[in-house]
Amino acid sequence: MRIDFCFLFLRLTYWLYLHKLPTVMSLSLQHSSAKSVTILPFLSKINTRYEVILASGSPRRKELLSLMGIVNFRVLVSSFAEDFDKKTFRSSSEYCAATAKKKLEYVVADYTTQRTDLKKPVIIIAADTVVDVDDMTLEKPADKDDSFRMIKMLSGRSHFVHTAVSIYAESESPEPQPPTSRTVFNSKTVSFVETSRVQFASLSDADIAAYAASGEGLDKAGSYGVQGLGGQLVAALDGCYFNVMGLPLHRLSSHLAQLLTEETS
């Protein structure tokens, strides 16, 4: 009888599993988003029907944009001097946002004057990254001595990395146009700032001097690259890793998806 009871118990458990599974799956589906939160469903459209411009000469941002699956893009570096007075801004993130917007403004103007393809809408992406420690904004170091000074300042402490992104996106006008006329595009600009928190290890002067001498950080905000030798300086990271590299992939993908969804709705 004991064996029969165990057998019946197992059968009952299995029956409950089978009959509750559809309910669990139904509940999971209820939590899924009706709208795309990434550009994955739009990649073919972006790569074939849009001209994509990266308003940055950063090798990291070029690499990251490619990692998103955007393959047909070209670089148009902003001519903005990036000479805002930091003292006029309330925070590093505000300064960063203003710089990204101004970079975008310059590239949109330059692109408009040299535009050759009048049939394809364009997406232009500009970005700026700064390091924020004690409400002090750190950008690229002036030289290796300045690199040493910055890393020394960050050693054993946490800091914030802000990346501001500004997007100019065109969509084809829904109004019918004569076959011979220039395509009329509607346009929209979206901006956001993503912030990550980075904790540096307590570094010796030998550690700092060796990294500064490598020169890796000379073209990077805060004078380090998390994706290279500088990754050894980082003890912990809270937030988007790619944001620290210079382009927050999910957030950028989400905003682009929203723009493309609005175009088709």
For the chain, give the mean pLDDT. Answer: 88
- Note the maximum CA span of the chain: 89
Whole-number Cα distances in Å, 234 to 30, 166, 242? 39, 28, 14
User: Which tokens in the block code for residue 226?
Assistant: 């998390």
Among all chains, which residue has been given the structure tokens 């990294």?
211
User: Which tokens in the block code for residue 112?
Assistant: 């408009």
Do residues 130 and 203 touch, judged by C-beta distance below 8 A? no
Q: Which amino acid, one-letter code, is at 231?
A: G
pLDDT of 14 strictly over 60 = no
- Predicted confidence band of residue 36 (pLDDT cuts 50, 70, 90): confident
Whole-number Cα distances in Å, 197 to 50, 96, 234, 244? 34, 16, 11, 9
- Predicted confidence band of residue 94 (pLDDT cuts 50, 70, 90): very high
Given this model, what pLDDT does residue 2 score?
47
Strand partners, 187: 170
Which tens digits make up the pLDDT trace of 205-252?
999 999 999 999 999 999 999 999 999 999 999 999 999 999 999 999
Q: State what percent of residues in the chain have pLDDT above 90.
A: 75
- Predicted confidence band of residue 24 (pLDDT cuts 50, 70, 90): very low
Torsion angle of alpha carbons 143, 211, 221, 160, nearest 10°?
A: -140
Given this model, what pLDDT does residue 119 score?
83
Whole-number Cα distances in Å, 174 to 67, 162, 171, 211, 265? 32, 37, 9, 55, 11
- C-alpha 15/C-alpha 87 separation (Å) is 68
- C-alpha 133/C-alpha 159 separation (Å) is 5
Sign of the CA dihedral running 49, 55, 58, 61: negative
Which tens digits make up the pLDDT trace of 149-190?
999 999 999 999 999 999 999 987 655 666 666 677 889 999
Which tens digits make up the pLDDT trace of 63-74?
999 999 999 899
Given this model, what pLDDT does residue 172 score?
72
Count of CB atoms situated within 10 Å of the CB of 37: 13
- Predicted confidence band of residue 23 (pLDDT cuts 50, 70, 90): very low
pLDDT of 25 strictly over 80 = no
Given this model, what pLDDT does residue 33 score?
54
Which active-site residues does the annotation give? Answer: 128
